[in-house]
Amino acid sequence: MEDIVRTLKDNPKRWYIVMVFAMALSFFGFMVGPRVGYGPEAAHAVGIMIGLWAPVLGVMGLRAELLQKKE
């Protein structure tokens, strides 16, 4: 079980996919949030909060890639 968790955590492609998903979700929050009934301030705050996680996820992908090269 530990090997499965390690494999999922250390796969750089998964981190990059999640990063792209966070960027898309952030864009969705900015553009669609006010149109579906959320206030512009609330939609922008949520979009920024989600968007700030994208670089962190990218760094995690880079870390996983470096760990793979090290092995």
pLDDT digits (tens, 9 = 90+) for 8-58: 567 888 889 989 999 998 998 888 888 888 888 888 888 888 888 889 989
Residues 4, 53: contact at Cβ < 8 Å?
Answer: no
Separation of alpha carbons 13 and 18, rounded Å: 9
pTM for the structure as a whole: 0.75
Question: What local confidence, expressed as pLDDT, does residue 2 receive?
Answer: 56
Confidence of residue 3 (pLDDT cuts 50, 70, 90): low
